[in-house]
Structure 1
Amino acid sequence: MASMAVCYSLATLSSTKPLLSHKNTTSIANLKSHERTLQSSLVGTKIAISKITRPLSSRRLGTSSSEITCSASASPLPSALLFDCDGVLVDTEKDGHRISFNDTFKEKELGVTWDVDLYGELLKIGGGKERMTAYFNKTGWPENAPKSEEERKAFIASLHKRKTELFMALIEKKLLPLRPGVAKLIDQALAEGVKVAVCSTSNEKAVSAIVTFLLGPERAEKIKIFAGDVVPRKKPDPAIYVLAANTLGVDPSSCVVIEDSGIGLAAAKAAGMKCIVTKSGYTANEDFLNADAVFDFIGDPPEERFDLAFCRSLLKQYVS
């Protein structure tokens, strides 16, 4: 919506005598009607009011020494909506990624099992390969793991590749559903020409599978994916969101991010973006003090929590 500026002098609003003496002025009845129309048109719109004092030489007969200048603007649309994947698009962690990690460990006879609580702690580390490396460094590497650092990197990469294959099989069978409201919000954004991207620390193939199989190919072709090792540093580092803004050609301050975790929130805010948190199973009790808004989920009517209009409201600015 284009910005709107309205200006009335105090004389126009309070002094009727000069108005009655001029053949081209508006009648009192029409003026009141116009005021009612003005008030109606500004309902729900933020208004900035400033006083302007005119020099004596420029004052017109019957006007006050000051005028009220009102300017109002509708909030701009976001340039881009950037979604995290796991926990935002789909609540994948407990019954998706964790299960796939454990199945991989079992296949490779590593003697390792990540239970629900342990995996919740490991999620504080961004990235699956980084998660496994940190865990083995702390608890000890399996007996059948390589000894050198370079060989261990290749070993971790092979585990992660197999884990991704198992996870994608779950997604292709549609055993893990989209969270409520995700498709709705994406459709609203695409209909308004807002760019949509998914920014995740997960493997790019896994993220692409979620987008393609659960959101459908028509949406998928309009959604840019930034995932996995596309950046050298994972969340809470802002690198992936900075890359997304640069690639999409948008100002970070005009982007709204949908995240579910503390590390994702930290990454979005460090990139200079607005961030809405939709809490997931593992992140419900995390500290989201710096979030611009926090919800249990996005939601579809009649259980809708927010929509594109709410994302738009986060970017509202006063125009003087």
Structure 2
Amino acid sequence: MLIWSVWTGLDGGVSFSLHADYFPKAALFSRKAHGDEKRMLVLFFDRIGWPTSLPTSEKGSFMKSVLREKLKALEEFSASDSLPLRPGVEKFIDDALSEGVPVAILAAYGRNGEKISRSIVKKLGPERTSKIKIVGKNEVEGSFYGQLVLGKGVTSSLDEQLIKEAQKAASAEKQRIAEEVASILKLSVDITTSESSEKVIAALRAGSEYVGCDVQNCILVAGSQSGVLAAECIGMPCVVVRCSFTARAEFPSAKAVMDGFGGTDLTVSKLLSKKWS
């Protein structure tokens, strides 16, 4: 089963921001930062120098504002009708459907995911989208994971203690996975799961649930590090399709990293045969 990030299908390789002059240069540091935007900004400003008027104590808030403005502008642009689908996306989805592979598009992936997904649905056309599961906020909250672990839409008949124990178990599993990775890297890890990562994990869980497949039997087609890391946390295989902004980024935990759809890049036949390169 294919689970699709809303970002992956759009031909929006350029990142827009009120601080747009920073990002073309910052892309040079994407490989060293392994696709982590915050780390990439730190490397960038450490190299060229931080704004002279910026107090050291305000570096954190400054980076957050840059990333927030960039994300807002990118989401608005991605949701516009003027942005086309990436070349090969329609054929890729058609091939998957003709092979009987369930396809889900994760609309609950980001802040404007629902709006972006509507734009994608319109471009794909009603015939295709009638065969695709669109997993939005309501679907996530209505899923078993959303009700039991996130506590969304839980009825009074459910045992509250069971919910708390499930939440503890989920947190413990995340910590265990992180510690295993950290032991390899000889690092000390203390995870505090952010709201954004929780949303991605919940969307992935809901996507697998709505198409009736275990997470291990799904493949996430992602375009960002957040999706890759979330998929790794729950044991879902992930393939990355890069854009121009992430062309230099590395995704070590992904099964494969492609530059597009079709031809020598990502095809359904490669996914089915697990030929990642």
Pick the TM interval, shorter chain: 0.5 to 0.7
Code of the residue aligned with 2:10 in structure 1: it is V
3-state DSSP of counterpart to 2:116: helix
Q: Distance in 1 between matches of 2:120 and 2:9?
A: 8
Looking at CA atoms only, which structure, 1 or 2, has the larger radius of gyration? 1
Residue 147 (structure 1) aligns with: none
Instruction: Map 1:1-320 to 2 at 5 A.
Output: 80-86=1-7, 88-92=8-12, 94=14, 98=16, 113-115=18-20, 117-118=22-23, 124=37, 138-139=61-62, 168=79, 170-171=80-81, 175-199=82-106, 200-227=109-136, 230=140, 233-235=195-197, 238-299=201-262, 303-314=263-274
Code of the residue aligned with 1:183 in structure 2: it is E
Alpha-carbon offset, residue 227 of structure 1 = 4.3
Alpha-carbon displacement from aligned partner over 1:104-137 (angstroms, at most 9, x marks no partner): xxxxxxxxx2315459799848xxxxxxxxx998
Code of the residue aligned with 2:127 in structure 1: it is E
Code of the residue aligned with 1:216 in structure 2: it is G
Alpha-carbon offset, residue 258 of structure 1 = 0.8
Alpha-carbon offset, residue 181 of structure 1 = 1.9
> CA distance change for structure 1 residues 221 and 94 in 2, over 3 Å: closer, same or farther?
same
* Matched length: 189
Residue 181 (structure 2) aligns with: none
Structure 2 residue runs of 5 or longer lacking an equivalent are 39-57, 142-149, 151-194
Higher percent of residues as strand: 1
Q: Distance in 1 between matches of 2:101 and 2:83?
A: 27
TM-score (norm 1): 0.49
3-state DSSP of counterpart to 1:94: coil
Residue 28 (structure 1) aligns with: none
Alpha-carbon displacement from aligned partner over 1:231-284 (angstroms, at most 9, x marks no partner): 773337522211211222211111111112222111122221111111112212
Q: Distance in 2 between matches of 1:265 and 1:240?
A: 13
State the superposition RMSD in angstroms.
Answer: 3.8
TM-score (norm 2): 0.56
> CA distance change for structure 1 residues 281 and 166 in 2, over 3 Å: closer, same or farther?
closer
> CA distance change for structure 1 residues 214 and 116 in 2, over 3 Å: closer, same or farther?
farther
> CA distance change for structure 1 residues 140 and 254 in 2, over 3 Å: closer, same or farther?
closer
Higher percent of residues as helix: 2
> CA distance change for structure 1 residues 289 and 189 in 2, over 3 Å: closer, same or farther?
same
Alpha carbons 1:84, 1:258 under 8 Å: kept:
yes
Alpha carbons 1:124, 1:263 under 8 Å: kept:
no
Q: Distance in 1 between matches of 2:240 and 2:85?
A: 16
Code of the residue aligned with 2:6 in structure 1: it is C
Alpha carbons 1:190, 1:196 under 8 Å: kept:
yes
Q: Which one is further off, 259-268 or 218-227?
A: 218-227
